[in-house]
Amino acid sequence: MKRVVVTGLGAITPLGNTVESFWKNIVAGKSGVGPITKFDTSKFKTQFAAEVKDFNAESFIDKKEIKKYDLFTQYAIVSTDEAIVDAGLDFSTFTDDELAEVGVIWATGNGGISTFEQQLTEFHKGDGTPRFNPYFIPKMIVDIAAGVISIRHKLRGPNYCTVSACASSNTAIISAFDTIRLGKANIMVAGGSEAAITEASVGGFNAAQALSKRNDSPETASRPFDESRDGFVMGEGAGALILEELEHALSRGAHIYAEIVGGGMAGDAYHLTGTPPDGIGATLGMKKALNDAGISADKIDYINAHATSTGLGDISELVAVKNVFGDLPVIVGASKSMTGHLLGAAGAVESLISVLSIRDGIIPPTINTEKLDEKIPEGLNIILGKPIKKEINYVLNNTFGFGGHVASTIFKKYEA
């Protein structure tokens, strides 16, 4: 099968709206969490989130076009534009045949939920006569970001959306990886976006007892593995990767960040929202990724854990890590301590971290974790407090979603 490399990156995040600003803040261990500004939270149990800051869609998208797009699609457009430029691609110079070999697989968990909420609220406030925005449906549906990216750049290769809750964008990346290595495209735009910090989302996750309620100290609320953690912190944003067939990338002199070498998907088959205590799904996903990459567990230098800061989820994942890696000295880190949980966009944003850690030889810290939960298996090497400078050859990135979805990817330092 063909080799697949990463040649471009793009980001819209709570810690920066470019890849380099985001990475700088991640390495510095900054928190992107603060009080919610999008709506009045006074009646909500959780009043904070990791919001994107200083995002102005008009700086990137024609004003007439903006009204057609939900915020999750706007994030998708801007992050993919950055990734395309970063990859040195100018699709306006591509022939029709070349454009047919460029595709988009874009993920989201919630799609245009803010549009859905706003339109139904306006309807119920009215006299009952249906007066919906003509863009209501195309703004809301989950696949529309993939479609818009394709339309914007005239990309006529494989085009669809993956939805597997918080594993969605890792699933998209694995699917794009498979598409290229099977010879069905030369270039794939892959990633995910989420803009779900809304009243319905926060209220719904509160009802499910999933969100932290640490309103007195929001910046320290996301504390993976800590004995006092009380739930995840909702985040928003987007991560975009340009995946490219190796020979195609070399033929045009592209800069290569890293190689993607493995992807594993599995199911917990356990519970609507919970994770199994024995970590069976995560164990399978990681083992499948290793098998796909054709490497043994001792090759992995760093695991970017899913680690949402929930009581059962954190332990289940670390049990799975112990199942797969035993007493190997692999370093486990939890970047959601800084970004919050970007839901369907989490896997893509954490893939950026994985790739950049390989590029710079830096493993970002886990912040806020003061005392490790005593239920964590012994012998795990969890990074806390400060980044580690280390040569990194392989990174494994975990994502898990409601419904028991598991997706694990492996990135490798590129070697000719």
pLDDT band at 166 (very low <50, low <70, confident <90, very high): very high
Residue type, 406: V
Task: Look at the domain 4-251 and name its fold.
Answer: Peroxisomal Thiolase; Chain A, domain 1 (3.40.47)
DSSP string, 150-165: HHHHT--S-EEEE-BT
CATH number of 263-412: 3.40.47.10
For the chain, the structural domain boundaries read 4-251, 263-412
**Which whole number is the average pLDDT over 16-34?**
98
First-residue to last-residue Cα distance in the chain: 16
Residue 180 pLDDT > 90? yes
The 10s digit of each residue's pLDDT in 29-72 is: 999 999 999 999 999 999 999 999 999 999 999 999 999 999 99
**Which whole number is the average pLDDT over 227-235?**
98
Residue 157 pLDDT > 90? yes
**Which whole number is the average pLDDT over 301-306?**
98
Measured CA to CA, the distance from residue 169 to residue 172 in angstroms comes to 5
Q: What is the pLDDT of residue 128?
A: 78
Q: What is the pLDDT of residue 126?
A: 82
* Cβ contacts of 111 within 8 Å, gap of 6 or more: 70, 72, 140, 141, 142, 144
Max CA-CA distance within the chain? 66
The 10s digit of each residue's pLDDT in 257-302 is: 999 999 999 999 999 999 999 999 999 999 999 999 999 999 999 9
Lowest mean pLDDT, pick from 6-15, 122-131, 368-377: 122-131
The 10s digit of each residue's pLDDT in 321-374 is: 999 999 999 999 999 999 999 999 999 999 999 999 999 999 999 999 999 999
Q: What is the pLDDT of residue 120?
A: 93
Contact (Cβ atoms closer than 8 angstroms) between residue 27 and residue 205 = no
The alpha carbon of residue 242 and the mean position of all alpha carbons in its chain are separated, in whole angstroms, by: 14
**Which whole number is the average pLDDT over 160-170?**
98
Q: How many CB atoms lie within 10 A of CB 6?
A: 30
Query: What's the mean pLDDT when you consider all of the chain?
Result: 97
Q: Among residues of the chain, what percentage have pLDDT more than 70? A: 100
Q: Among residues of the chain, what percentage have pLDDT more than 90? A: 97
Q: Which residues are catalytic?
A: 166, 306, 341
The candidate with the shortest Cα–Cα distance to 263, out of 407, 96, 54, is: 407
Q: What is the pLDDT of residue 312?
A: 95
Residue that wins the pLDDT comparison between 166 and 131: 166
pLDDT band at 131 (very low <50, low <70, confident <90, very high): confident
Residue that wins the pLDDT comparison between 131 and 77: 77
Contact (Cβ atoms closer than 8 angstroms) between residue 32 and residue 338 = yes
Establish whether domains 4-251 and 263-412 are of one fold: yes
Q: What is the pLDDT of residue 97?
A: 98
The alpha carbon of residue 117 and the mean position of all alpha carbons in its chain are separated, in whole angstroms, by: 23
Q: Which helix (H) or strand (E) holds 291?
A: helix 280-293
**Matching residue, tokens 């925005």:** 133
Q: Which helix (H) or strand (E) holds 64?
A: helix 63-66
Residue 130 pLDDT > 90? no
pLDDT band at 129 (very low <50, low <70, confident <90, very high): confident
**Which whole number is the average pLDDT over 199-224?**
97
